[in-house]
Amino acid sequence: MGNNTCFHCGLDATSSTIIFDEKSFCCNGCKTVYEIFSVNDLTCYYDLQQAPGATPKDVEGKYNFLDNAKIVEQLLEFNNDDTQIVTLYIPHIHCSSCIWILENLNKLNPSISASIVNFGKKNVRVTFNSKSLTLKNLVTLLSSIGYEPFISLDDYSVGKKHIDRSLIYKLGIAGFAFGNVMFLSFPEYFQVDGFWIEKYKHLFRWLMFFFSLPVVFYSAQDYFISAFKGLRSKILNIDVPIALGVLVLFVRSSAEIIFDAGSGFFDSLTGLIFFLLLGKFFQQKTYTFLSFERDYKSYFPIGITKITTEGTEESIQVYDIEKGDRLLIRNEELIPVDCILIKGTARIDYSFVTGESKTVSKQSGDKLFAGGKQLDGSIEVDVLKSVEQSYLTQLWSNDVFKKDKELSFTNITNSISKRFTIIILLIAFIATSFWLYTDSSKALNVFTSVLIIACPCAIALSAPFTFGNILRILGKKKFYLKNASVIEQLAKINTIIFDKTGTITANKETAINYEGSELSLDEETLLKSTLRGSNHPLSRSLYNILNKHDILTLDTYEEFLGKGIEAQYKDHNIKIGSAPFVGHTSDTATLNTSVHVSTNNQYKGKFTFYNAYRKGISQLFNTLKKDYDLVILSGDNAGERDNLTKLLPTKTKLLFNQKPEDKLEYIKYHQNEGANVLMVGDGLNDAGALAQSNVGIAISENVNVFSPACDAILDASKFNQLFNYIKISKSAINIIKWSFLLSFIYNSIGLYFAVTGQLAPVVAAILMPLSSISIVVFTTVATNMVGRKLN
């Protein structure tokens, strides 16, 4: 452990001078957590993983809404006289240390009797004694050790989420029956004409029959339902030949044992359904800790502080906000409804709603819209509309959020199976009519054999196993897809549209540019020392880029919220902040955020902040331009136009000042022109566009926090890999085509046996699993080879 990184969270600790217990820390918060752990004998936390912690945030007042019994009641899973159980979502859970500390919460507070972590879902289920510990205490306790829970309006749902485990049950039943039936059919495979086999074969056959009943009627029911729905809407999907095959297998096998004609194909039947369900299960890879279905509810707080007519503060539920209420919005809090500013200076960040990166200052009496974030201190507002009627919520009433993308898309398997089904039925009828002329006793046998052997097991397996594996490979590379059909859609894309703010620019990094007369060394030192005391994000970024100077102890220091900072050192006075604040009036209208500096009432110059573009963006665009039409669709102003023209290939279209609805319309228009659109965005303002596009990818700096409803979430650090990911999706389609070819070869061999009327149960029993397993092996090996090409 070096002495320059924080022992608790691993961030750079060179500039801080906090040493405690011979370990360095980057801030007091981290040190405090370490103290808490060491006093409670929990330092094992640091043995499991190096620097696992997070800096605790100040949550003063943030969770006051948990004093409201009505809200708490909604969040609790179980509430008895003195026992309460709650499940909290904690985004920071990421390693074994996290599990260890969260499962040892009772060492920190004896009122907690049990806490169980679910790592996949990133949540912890805490059972605690409500007599000695309230939910609010619990949340502040978790926050104080750096594990702040994330509670949003989404959690305010009545009733618990139902977990669907039916696929596991179906798979279990099919597997159980498959194994036992295989066992029971073994004696008859070898066609031994012995006394004992004659005596006991009926028992064995009927046992097999009973084992396969639940498989056909329970495990396979989804295929029947889906085939029925497909036929009703005149579509021959892949489930039609599967359902047909299963039905024929079952009827013929039952008939054979009833009339004592043979042992039937129960082993093939159960095996087939088992493999099909296995494919389904394999494809059902979901990222439980990610949500692809978010709407505005995930961004909104549950509770808000209302100022009553008597002037006291009380927490109320967001849905209970009524027109005319007076609300208190704290620093960094989200404005949940459209309202009018009454008291305080508002600096609102609307980037989440409009994509405009510049913050807006508002005066008393101005209208504020829901979805904005207050950045400077507390404000008081009067409510104009309730939550459901606010502007942001209205965005969600667009029809685009109600349609299911998957339904409007015919996937590769279904398009193949349509032809396949017709060909198979043709072969079956031709072969049957041929046998009717030559040997009518065999006709029915041949007809059923063809349908049995052609049951497109291998075809139905190729896509699930290929896509399932690709999903896993991409997931490891921090590209999380909602489901398998997204891969197919991705392979068909021909137009790529990017949002600007937060998508091709990085949120956290800014480039700063100074214009004005040069600062003397004294002035620079003073500037640096002054900025050091401020917590404003702009001050922090500016402080970090200035050269190292000796830090002075200032004589006076005053911060004016929403305006700037003023400081005095000996006879030097400095003002840092907005143009009017520093006394600079001839401000050229600039479209970028800037901070102005004046010393001793003389204007010096301004620092202009630019968004830094993500690494490798120009290279990415140059590789993409060969195959795709590229568009930048930004809600921001045109301040960056020149910069972008330099950076990106010439034929990239640039459109600025696009409202969320404009983006949606733009995509719709191009889709009608025949374009397959991939939209890459990040904020709520892109939500409509993401839903309208064929594939919507949300870029996220931290995949655990917000991302609007989308088809895929891409970690921002992998942004420059986008082209490779699209390439992978194309390879996946090729792999599937190859495996179709492979399964056609199997089918031809099987059909030879079937058409000539010599399909013995043992042949089916060998061919069916062999084809299934070899398809699975082929797709797995091929996808892994493709995945290895990704660095």
Partner 1 sequence: MSVIYILLAISIIVAVGFFIAFIVAVKKGQYDDSYTPSVRMLFEDELVKENSNKKILTKKINK
Of 10, 16, 18, 36, which lies in the binding site for partner 1, with binding defined by CB under 8 A? 36
The reply to whether 104 sits near partner 1 by the rule CB under 8 A is yes
The reply to whether 433 sits near partner 1 by the rule CB under 8 A is no
Of 82, 83, 120, 515, which lies in the binding site for partner 1, with binding defined by CB under 8 A? 120
Taking CB under 8 A as the rule, which mask of x and - marks residues 588-607 in contact with partner 1?
--------------------
Smallest gap, in angstroms, from Cβ of residue 44 to partner 1?
A: 5
User: What is the C-alpha R_g of the chain?
Assistant: 33
Q: Residue 108 or 242: which CB sits closer to partner 1?
A: 108
Q: 741 vs 82, 220, 745, CA distance in Å?
A: 64, 26, 7
Q: What is the dihedral of CA 478, 480, 484, 489, to 10 degrees?
A: -90
Q: Residue 104 or 704: which CB sits closer to partner 1?
A: 104
Of 103, 662, 701, 715, which lies in the binding site for partner 1, with binding defined by CB under 8 A? 103
Of 4, 83, 96, 308, which lies in the binding site for partner 1, with binding defined by CB under 8 A? 96
Listed in sequence order, the residues at least 6 apart from 551 whose beta carbon sits closer than 8 Å to its beta carbon are: 528, 529, 532
Smallest gap, in angstroms, from Cβ of residue 206 to partner 1?
A: 11
What's the CA gap between 471 and 751, in Å, rounded? 34
Q: Residue 95 or 741: which CB sits closer to partner 1?
A: 95
Stretch that binds partner 1, among 111-119, 377-385, 435-443, 498-506 (CB under 8 A): 111-119
Q: Residue 140 or 364: which CB sits closer to partner 1?
A: 140
Smallest gap, in angstroms, from Cβ of residue 529 to partner 1?
A: 21
Of 16, 55, 79, 118, which lies in the binding site for partner 1, with binding defined by CB under 8 A? 118
Asked if residues 27 and 14 have their Cβ atoms less than 8 Å apart, the reply is no
Of 6, 13, 26, 42, which lies in the binding site for partner 1, with binding defined by CB under 8 A? 42
What's the CA gap between 515 and 517, in Å, rounded? 7
The reply to whether 524 sits near partner 1 by the rule CB under 8 A is no
Question: Binders of partner 1 among 532-551, rule CB under 8 A?
Answer: none
The reply to whether 145 sits near partner 1 by the rule CB under 8 A is yes
- Look up tokens 């897809």; give the residue: 481
The reply to whether 132 sits near partner 1 by the rule CB under 8 A is no
Smallest gap, in angstroms, from Cβ of residue 288 to partner 1?
A: 9
CB atoms inside a 10 Å sphere around CB 681:
30
Q: 283 vs 421, 459, 470, 606, 639, CA distance in Å?
A: 24, 15, 10, 55, 45
Q: Residue 96 or 748: which CB sits closer to partner 1?
A: 96
The reply to whether 139 sits near partner 1 by the rule CB under 8 A is no
Stretch that binds partner 1, among 102-110, 150-158, 565-573, 714-722 (CB under 8 A): 102-110
136, with CB counted inside 10 A (0-12, 13-18, 19+), is middle
Q: Residue 96 or 389: which CB sits closer to partner 1?
A: 96
Smallest gap, in angstroms, from Cβ of residue 164 to partner 1?
A: 11
Long-range (24+ apart) CB contacts under 8 A made by 388-396 are 389/338, 390/336, 390/337, 390/338, 391/338, 392/296, 392/353, 392/684, 393/296, 395/296, 395/660, 395/684, 395/687, 395/688, 396/295, 396/296, 396/687
The reply to whether 28 sits near partner 1 by the rule CB under 8 A is yes
The reply to whether 32 sits near partner 1 by the rule CB under 8 A is yes
The reply to whether 168 sits near partner 1 by the rule CB under 8 A is yes
Q: Residue 115 or 317: which CB sits closer to partner 1?
A: 115
Q: Which of 148, 147, 145 is nearest to 39 (CA)?
A: 145
Stretch that binds partner 1, among 66-74, 161-169, 407-415, 668-676 (CB under 8 A): 161-169
Of 7, 29, 303, 528, which lies in the binding site for partner 1, with binding defined by CB under 8 A? 29
Asked if residues 361 and 341 have their Cβ atoms less than 8 Å apart, the reply is no
DSSP assignment, residue 356? -
Smallest gap, in angstroms, from Cβ of residue 126 to partner 1?
A: 14
What's the CA gap between 131 and 429, in Å, rounded? 76
Q: Which of 39, 57, 45 is nearest to 7 (CA)?
A: 45
Stretch that binds partner 1, among 69-77, 115-123, 571-579, 669-677 (CB under 8 A): 115-123
Residue 584 carries which side chain, given as an amino acid letter? H
What's the CA gap between 687 and 355, in Å, rounded? 11
Smallest gap, in angstroms, from Cβ of residue 125 to partner 1?
A: 11
Q: Residue 104 or 378: which CB sits closer to partner 1?
A: 104
Of 19, 44, 551, 745, which lies in the binding site for partner 1, with binding defined by CB under 8 A? 44
**What kind and span of H or E run contains 428?**
helix 412-438
Start-to-end C-alpha separation, the chain: 29
Q: Which of 729, 205, 749 is nearest to 454 (CA)?
A: 749
The reply to whether 108 sits near partner 1 by the rule CB under 8 A is yes
Asked if residues 302 and 62 have their Cβ atoms less than 8 Å apart, the reply is no
Q: Residue 216 or 644: which CB sits closer to partner 1?
A: 216
The reply to whether 49 sits near partner 1 by the rule CB under 8 A is no
Q: Residue 176 or 514: which CB sits closer to partner 1?
A: 176
Largest CA distance in the chain: 116
Question: Binders of partner 1 among 170-209, rule CB under 8 A?
Answer: 172-173, 176, 180, 196, 199-200, 203, 207
Question: Binders of partner 1 among 616-655, rule CB under 8 A?
Answer: none
Q: Residue 199 or 651: which CB sits closer to partner 1?
A: 199
What's the CA gap between 549 and 84, in Å, rounded? 54
Q: Residue 180 or 226: which CB sits closer to partner 1?
A: 180
Q: Residue 117 or 496: which CB sits closer to partner 1?
A: 117
Q: Residue 100 or 209: which CB sits closer to partner 1?
A: 100
- Look up tokens 């709603």; give the residue: 353
Q: Which of 432, 327, 453, 423 is nearest to 751 (CA)?
A: 453
Count of residues near partner 1 by CB under 8 A: 42
Residues in a beta bridge with 516: 605
What is the distance of C-alpha 132 from the center of its chain?
Answer: 37
Smallest gap, in angstroms, from Cβ of residue 153 to partner 1?
A: 25
Smallest gap, in angstroms, from Cβ of residue 212 to partner 1?
A: 14
Q: Do the strands 712-715 and 695-700 form a parallel or antiparallel pair, or are they unpaired? A: parallel
What's the CA gap between 777 and 568, in Å, rounded? 74
**What kind and span of H or E run contains 380?**
strand 379-383
Q: Do the strands 339-343 and 379-383 form a parallel or antiparallel pair, or are they unpaired? A: antiparallel
Smallest gap, in angstroms, from Cβ of residue 476 to partner 1?
A: 14
Residues making contact with partner 1 (CB under 8 A):
28-29, 32, 35-36, 39-42, 44, 58, 96, 99-100, 103-104, 107-109, 116-121, 140-141, 144-145, 163, 165, 168-169, 172-173, 176, 180, 196, 199-200, 203, 207
